[in-house]
Amino acid sequence: MAAIIKKAWEGYQIIFEEFPDPRTKDLPLIAKPYQGILLLTLYLMFVFKWGPNFMKNRPAYNLDRIIIVYNAFQVFACAYLFTNALYFAWLWDYKWICEPVDYTINDKAIKITRFVYYYFLLKVVDLLDTVFFILRKKINQVTFLHVYHHTGMVMLIWGAATYFPGGHGTLVGVINTFVHVVMYSYYLITVWDPSLKGNLWWKKYITQLQILQFLWMVVHMSIIVFKTDCEYPRWTSAIFLPQNVFMLILFIDFYIKTYIKKPKVQMKVEETTKKDSSTNGKSHLS
Please identify every residue annotated as catalytic.
149
Nearest Cα neighbor of 154 from 20, 250, 36, 47 is: 36
How many residues can be counted in the chain? 286
Q: For residues 99 and 142, give the distance between their C-alpha atoms in angstroms, rounded to a whole number.
A: 37
How much helix, strand and coil, in percent to the nearest 5, is found in the chain? 75, 0, 25
Q: For residues 123 and 150, give the distance between their C-alpha atoms in angstroms, rounded to a whole number.
A: 7
Sorted by sequence, the CB contacts under 8 Å of residue 229 that are 6+ apart come out as: 98
Give how far the C-alpha of residue 125 lies from the chain's centroid of Cα atoms, to the nearest Å: 11
User: Are 207 and 258 spatial neighbours (Cβ–Cβ below 8 Å)?
Assistant: yes
Q: For residues 232 and 101, give the distance between their C-alpha atoms in angstroms, rounded to a whole number.
A: 7
User: Are 89 and 170 spatial neighbours (Cβ–Cβ below 8 Å)?
Assistant: yes
Helix (H, G, I), strand (E, B) or coil at 65: helix
Cα atoms found within 13 Å of the Cα of residue 18, Cβ hemisphere only: 7
Q: For residues 245 and 233, give the distance between their C-alpha atoms in angstroms, rounded to a whole number.
A: 19
Q: For residues 17 and 10, give the distance between their C-alpha atoms in angstroms, rounded to a whole number.
A: 10
Per DSSP (E only), the strands in 101-235 are: none
